[in-house]
Structure 1
C-alpha cells in the first residue's frame, strides 16, 4: 500500500494542532477537504488515527504509533528536496587560496571532483593576506586552502599536509651559505611581514613564539606572495615559508634554507561549518582521498 506524502503532511498538521480547523488554516485548505483526506488515509491504513470530539481531537494509539515514522518520513523528504535544489542551483564552486598549493594536491582533487560533479565549474580565487580565511569569512569563497593557525568561529578545517619551515633570503646574505640555519641566527634579520589583519597567521610566519619575547624587526609588509618575494629580492628582508612552497616560488637571486628550532607549517582545507551543499561535500571528499602528509625531516 502506497500512502501519498500529502496525506502524511495532513496527518502531521492535525496531530500537532489537535484541531481540524486550525490545521486546515495552517495548510491553506478547507476544513471539510482536510477531514476528507484524513478519512482517505484512515481507510487506506485500515484504522482510525484520531478520536473526534466535539471541540478537538486526540490521537488514537495507532495514531501515536504512526506519528514518529510519519515525522521522519516527511523530514527526510524535505531534506532530500533541499539537497536536490542546491545541487541544481550550484553550478560553480569558488576555491579560495592565498598561495599556490602545488604538490600535485590541487590537480588530483580537481580531477576527482570533476568525476563527482561534472556539471559544476571550479573557480580558483586568489585572496590577499588581509583575509586569512581566504574568502570564507565574507562568503566570497565556498572552500579555501588556508595555513594554520587560522580557525575562526564557525569555520571547520582539516589538515592536508605538514612541512618544516624554511627561510627565503637574498643570495648575498651571509646566512645563505649555511646548509641549515638555527632560528636564533635570524632574530636580528628584518622580516617581510603579513599585514596586521592576518593576526595569528602574521605571528606564525614571524615565528613570534620562538623569539623569547624579542620583537621582530619588520623590513616590509606584503599582502600577497608576489609582493613578499619582490621585497626579498629588493633586500628588504627575509621570510619564512613552508618547504613545499620553496620550489613553487623560486626566484633568481633568492635562496631558501631549512630552519632549525621551529614547529612545522600546516596547510588545511577550510569550509563554513554549516555549509552542507553537495558541491562543497564533493570537494572535501575529493581531498579526503589524499592521506595527510608529514615531512619527518622537520622533527
Structure 2
C-alpha cells in the first residue's frame, strides 16, 4: 500500500529553499530572521516528514542531494503557486483591477506606460520597484503583473521579451586614480575590493559584477550592499568600488563619486517579463504595446 501524501508546511518549504539557495544554514537563518538551531530543526523535520535526505552536511559546507535538487525545483513552484493564489484572492476581494508594473532601478518605463495608457485609458497603473534578488519571485507570486527586469533571473514559469542592452559602469571614489578616465578596464581595478550584490545569484554576479573576470580571476570581495544608497555610502567612504548598469549610475549624481564606463565587459540586458500561466488580458495588452514599440524604435 502506497504511503499517504503528507501535508506540506509552507513555512518549512521556505526554510528549505533559503538554505538550498545559500548552501549555508547560518546565512539562511540571518535572511529569515530566525536562529540557526530553529532553522536546522525545521529542515530536519521536513526531511523526516518526506522520509528523504535533502542535504549532505559537513562541517565546512552544505550541498543538495539529487533528491534535494529535484525538491528545490518543485518547492519553488509550490511556493510561487501558493503566493499567487493568495495575491489573486486579495486583489479580487478588493476589486483591484490595476495593472501592476514592476521596474528595476534605471529602466525606462515611461514610454511604455504612456503608450499603454493611450490605448487603455480606463486601466489604472501601479508601479512597484523590483530588486535583483526577488524580481522573478514577485512576478510568479502575483505581486506584480509584468516587469522590466534585468536578466539573468530564474525564468522558469516566466515569459521574457528582450528589449535592449546596457553597458556596465564602474562606481569609484572621486579620488581614485581612474576616476577621471573616459573608460576603465577591469585590469586597472584589479587591486580594488569590489562591493557585492547582497543575496545575488552566481549568474547575476557573473554578469553585473564581472565576477569572475573574463580571464578567470576573481576580484577581491568588498562589503555587500542592498541598494544604491548603501553602495554609494561604501564607495564614498573608500570601502571599495562597484559595478552598476549605466542608467542606474546616471540617476545618482554625487560630488564624491565618479562613474566611469567599463571598456572590456559584455553589456547586460533589459527584458519585459510576465507569468506565463494564463496571463490576464491587461498583461497581454501591455506586452503587445511594448512589443509594437520595440519593433518601431528598438527600445520600449
TM-score w.r.t. length of structure 2: 0.62
Question: Which piece of structure 1 moves more, 114-123 or 165-174?
Answer: 114-123
Partner in structure 2 of residue 99 of structure 1: 105
Q: Which runs of 4+ in 1 moved over 6 A?
A: 292-295
Matched, 1:265 2:268: yes
* 1:181-221 deviation line (CA, Å, top 9, x unaligned): 11121222111211234442123222124253322222211
1:254 CA drift (Å): 1.0
Structure 2: 5+ residue runs without aligned partners? 1-91
1:151 CA drift (Å): 4.5
Residues 214 and 265 of structure 2 are in contact (CA less than 8 Å); yes or no, is this contact kept in structure 1? no
Partner in structure 1 of residue 78 of structure 2: none
Structure of greater Rg: 1
Distance in 2, matches of 1:283 and 1:229, equals 34
> 1:246 is paired with a residue of what secondary structure?
helix
> 2:293 is paired with a residue of what secondary structure?
coil
What's the RMSD between the two structures over aligned residues?
2.4
1:166-177 aligned within 5 A: 166-177=169-180
Q: 235, 243, 266: which one pairs with 1:232? A: 235
* 1:217-252 deviation line (CA, Å, top 9, x unaligned): 222111223322222222222221222333222222
Distance in 2, matches of 1:208 and 1:196, equals 15
Q: 190, 194, 198: which one pairs with 1:195? A: 198
* 1:161-182 deviation line (CA, Å, top 9, x unaligned): 1122221111111111322111
Distance in 2, matches of 1:251 and 1:289, equals 37
1:134 CA drift (Å): 6.5
* 1:27-77 deviation line (CA, Å, top 9, x unaligned): xxxxxxxxxxxxxxxxxxxxxxxxxxxxxxxxxxxxxxxxxxxxxxxxxxx
1:121 CA drift (Å): 1.6
TM-score w.r.t. length of structure 1: 0.62
Structure 1: 5+ residue runs without aligned partners? 1-85
Distance in 1, matches of 2:132 and 2:228, equals 9
Residues 98 and 224 of structure 1 are in contact (CA less than 8 Å); yes or no, is this contact kept in structure 2? no
Check 1:230–1:98 CA distance in 2 against 1; reply closer, same or farther (3 A cut): farther
1:213-232 aligned within 5 A: 213-232=216-235
> 1:208 is paired with a residue of what secondary structure?
coil
Matched, 1:133 2:136: yes
